[in-house]
Structures are given as structure tokens and as C-alpha cells.
Amino acid sequence: MTQLSVTNLLGIKHLNKDDIQLIFKTADHFKEVINRPIKKVPSLRDITIANLFFENSTRTKLSFELAEKRLSADIINFSAAKSSVKKGESLIDTVNNILSMKVDIIVMRHPNEGAGDFLSKHISAKIVNAGDGAHEHPTQALLDSYSIREKLGSVKGKKIVIVGDILHSRVALSNIYALQLLGAEVKLCGPTTLMPKYITKLGVGYENNLRKALEWCDVANVLRVQHERMDIKYFPSIREYTQLFGINKELLNSLNKEIVIMHPGPINRGVELTSDVADSKQAIILNQVENGVAIRMAVIYLLAQQIKR
């Protein structure tokens, strides 16, 4: 297989296992490229990409920008806070204005679930979902699985626990789909109030006790408590959350094996992870960030191959 089965990357839900293997194989190549003295290839010299960020982002935005630059694409950046969206412009109008400047690919982060799917029905440019509300964040899940594969040799047969605020997390849903496609076993752990009602339908397990969950797993992917998406209280206090679901070095040292710690960032240090865990050898958090650039290069490169030039 040399082509993706999809024409946009809206979510992992639309991908098959071969798509993911192709993205990983392509990312292997780009990872080698970005470690060369000249970290750049001319592949997308004729492609223009617009990064549309309707919601705050640091690493995802920088990672996409860097990936595009390493592929030699022309890029334009748009962030909602500084745009006409604040003057009441609709999403389709904003995007059509940008497309009339001859843009080939749109990378979009949006606070509303399904924003990318909606847009894909109205425009011809390719769309990469860089996170839509609490729905999907496909490139994050790809880089997470890629980092597990790099660290443990494969994803197949591995036991992964996703800890924390699953309810508000697009990282969790995309991870569940990707890990299952690649043959991992997945459990969720966190306060029951932060578990979505539909989890039983997703074919994943649930463990309320953090110690038991960590004893079971090979990898713990720890999520941020998404305060900005909470309009009610989901747990009594941060202190209690940390006591029950925060990971500290003492807890890790008391397990009978060394597990791998992941986090998509940004970390609330001292809440979901203590600093000595976040900065420990067991944590692959910065490898995840490095792999993010190679994965995003792969996704954009593969989608660009489908554009008639």
C-alpha cells in the first residue's frame, strides 16, 4: 500500500490498520530526515497549507508548522483570537476566503466537535483535524502509538492504561481507536464522573484503582484535567484528585515493574504527575513531542500525494 484509504485526516475512526502502518513507515523516513544536518526535503515546494487555529495551542501548532516547513510547503497561519471570526464571520466564509488564495491543505483546530467533518463537505481542500472539541485529535494518537512502538518494539499485545479526564479528552478517544486497531489492550482509569457513558461500547476496560491499573499496564498515558471544558465540578478538589489519580515516584517505585509514562502535554505538574515522574527516565514525554513532527510530516506528505499537480 502506498496511498491512504482516506482523502482527509478527520479522525482515527476513519482509518484502517494499513493506513496507520503506512503513516508509521513514512514517519520512520522523516524521522531520519529531521535528524540530518539539513533537516529539510523539497517534496511539497508546490503546496500551500493554512493552519487555522480557532482554539489555543502551543505544541500542536508549532509541531504542524515545523513539519510543513521541513517539507518545504508554503504556509499561512491564522488564529481566531486575531481574526474576523470575532466580528461574526461564519466558518465556511472564513475558510472560503482563505481558499480563494489557492490553499491546498487546511490544518484545523476547533472547539466544536465535528468541525472538520462539516467543513470537508463544503470545501475541496484537504483537511487535517488538529483537535475538534472533545472528539478526536488523530495526529496526537498517531504520535502516541508511534512512540510506544519505538519504545517497546510494537503496540500489538501491549497493555495501555489511559488515566484521568477521559470525558473531555479528544486525545483519549483517538488513542482508543488507534491502540485497538494496532492490537493493544486498553483500560481507562479515573474518577467515574470523568468517564463518558459510552465507554462500555468502545470495548475498553475500566479500573477505578490507580495502583491496580498501573500494576496491570505496560504504559500509562496520563491526561491533563481539562478545567477549561468543565462548567460544573466533577470531583471535590484538586487535592483529592491528586491523591487518588496523581502519579508520583513513590507509587511507581512500589510497582513490581518499570512502566512507561506518557503525557500529551501541557502537564499540570503536581496534579496528574509529579515533576520527578514527568522528568524521569521512565517518561517518554519529550520523545512524543519529537515524534510529533515526523508523524505530521508523514500525514501531510501522504495527503499531498493525492493532489493533482
- Provide the minimum distance between the beta carbon of 90 and ligand NCD in the complex, in angstroms, as a whole number: 24
CB of residue 170 to ligand NCD, shortest distance in Å:
5
Measured from the CB atom, the residue of 51 and 60 that comes closer to ligand NCD is 60
Sign of the C-alpha dihedral computed for residues 308, 119, 129 and 171 taken in this order? negative
Bridge partners (DSSP) of residue 186 are: 160
| CB of residue 135 to ligand NCD, shortest distance in Å | 10
Which residue number, 11 or 131, has a Cβ lying nearer to ligand NCD? 131
For ligand NCD, the closer CB: 246 or 264: 264
Residue with cell 508523524: 295
Give the nearest distance from C-beta 223 to ligand NCD in angstroms: 6
Q: Residue 47 or residue 116: which is nearer to ligand NCD going by CB?
A: 116
Query: Interface residues with ligand NCD (CB under 6 A)?
Result: 59-60, 131, 137, 140, 170-171, 224, 226, 264-265
Cα torsion at 3, 7, 8, 13 (round to 10°)? -80
Question: Taking the complex as a whole, how short is the minimal distance between the CB of residue 189 and ligand NCD, in angstroms?
Answer: 16
- By beta-carbon proximity to ligand NCD, the closer residue of 48 and 60 is 60
